[in-house]
Every structure is written in structure tokens, then in C-alpha cells.
Amino acid sequence: MAKYNRILLKLSGESLMGDGNSIDVNRLNDYATQIKAVADMGIQISIVIGGGNIFRGLSGASKGYDRVKGDQMGMLATVINSLALSSALNAVGQKSRVLTAIRMEPIGEIYSKWKAIEAMENGEVAILSCGTGNPFFTTDTGSSLRGIEIEADVMLKGTRVDGVYTADPEKDPTATKFDTISYDEVYSRGLKVMDMTATIMCKENNLPIVVFDMDTYGNLEKVMKGENIGTYVHA
């Protein structure tokens, strides 16, 4: 039995990077097979993927790009990653549909809540790109918004770290991992689970988050089965 019926999976663009490549095909295929395994359990899946492996608007602004145009470039980067993931899913026999917050047919259909839900109910993975479609909002905030809109049971934040820690475990060897933590404690401790806008949206709309290591093969299925991995963030 799956613990959740409908999920919003947030993947970072950086997680797709290989050795000097914007998209690591092996990592992409690894993600696709994990996602298909969960879809085969009957779970409805939507995905938001970042674009930081190609272009990040905020870092572009620090180099002199206009912030609005930089964020728009970042939105297009998320579309490239979404198309790559859709292709990888199709290659392993999993149907998918790319929906974009900015109109750009025939690359993808324009996003609406009802199109995304229809796709999921038909057994397709709904890949939701372009963030919110607006500058100054991260793909974390886009994930929170989409998760709330499509009435997901949970947001799964797949990262290279196996949960939320008291400090950055890559910098502080004494950092300890939380099994569960409230949004209020995330805020009071200043922990970087997501940006503050995304965190507040999840808290106010009672959307829990599971932060887990997506790069360890099989972890996504373990989360779906309710195994105690990662960190459960709740209101």
C-alpha cells in the first residue's frame, strides 16, 4: 500500500549535472526508472524541476543581466529539463505531459490545474515547467503553488542530502538530522529547506514536505511505502 495517492515531486536542476555536462543522461534515466516504478504503484505524479544546471536568474543578475530577463531565461531552462525528463520517461514506457506556465505551444501545453489533474488521472506524469511564470519567484515557490493547486497529499523534495539537518552536513560534521520538524522550527532555526515564500505557502495551506536523497536509487519508492527515510516537515 502506498502512503500517498497524489504527489508533487520537486527536483533540482543541479541534480541533473554530470561531469561538465548540463544534463547527465545516466542520472536522467535513473530518475525516470524510479518515477516509473512509483507510477506503476498507481500513484498520481506531478513534477517540478529547476533549471540551475543551465541558467539561474539570480546568479545572472549578479553578473549584470536584467533580473526579469534573467528569471525568464531561467524559466526556459526549466522547460529544457522538463523536455529531457519527459523524453526519458517515454523511453522507459511511462507516458508524460509537459505543461508550461508561459504559453509556448507546441513545446508544451499551457498549464492549468485541471489539465494537470486530468493527465495524472489518465496515468500520465504531469511535468510542470516555467515555475510560476513570473520573475522573482523560485521553482521552490512554483512547487509549493502547484502542489497546493493540484491538491497533492505531499511535496517530495528530492535532493542530494538525505534530509534536514541542524546545519549543512557537508560543512559541519557535527550536524544532526531531523526525522520530523515543524515549519515553525524550520523558520526559528533559519534552516534552508526552501526559500521563505515557499515554506510559508506550504505551512498556511497544510502541505507537508518530505526532504530526501533522490540520488540513492530506490529511495523514491521507499518514501511512497512509508519507510522512515528523509525528513518530514509539517505544520
What 3 state SS string does 82-146 have? HHHHHHHHHHCCCCEEEEECCCECCCEEECCHHHHHHHHHCCCEEEEECCCCCCCCCHHHHHHHH
Residues 6+ apart with CB under 8 A from 59: none
pLDDT of residue 15: 86
pLDDT bin (cut points 50, 70, 90) of residue 19 is low
Q: Residue range 112-129: average pLDDT? A: 98
Cα–Cα distance measured from residue 154 to residue 152, given in angstroms and rounded to the nearest whole number = 5
- Joined grid coordinates for residue 13: 536542476
pLDDT of residue 92: 97
- Please compute Rg for the chain using Cα positions: 17
Q: Say if residue 169's pLDDT is above 90.
A: no
Domains and CATH numbers, the chain: 6-234 (3.40.1160.10)
Cα–Cα distance measured from residue 179 to residue 175, given in angstroms and rounded to the nearest whole number = 13
Higher pLDDT pick, 169 / 227: 227
pLDDT of residue 62: 74
- Mean pLDDT rounded to a whole number for the chain: 93
Cα distances (angstroms) measured from residue 187 to each of 108, 141, 172, 194, 199: 36, 16, 20, 10, 8
Residues 6+ apart with CB under 8 A from 10: 47, 48, 49, 50, 139, 140, 143, 155, 156, 157, 158
The amino acid at 19:
D
Q: Residue range 216-229: average pLDDT? A: 94
pTM: 0.94
**8-state DSSP, 71:** H
pLDDT bin (cut points 50, 70, 90) of residue 60 is low
3-state SS of the chain: helix, strand, coil percent to 5? 40, 20, 40
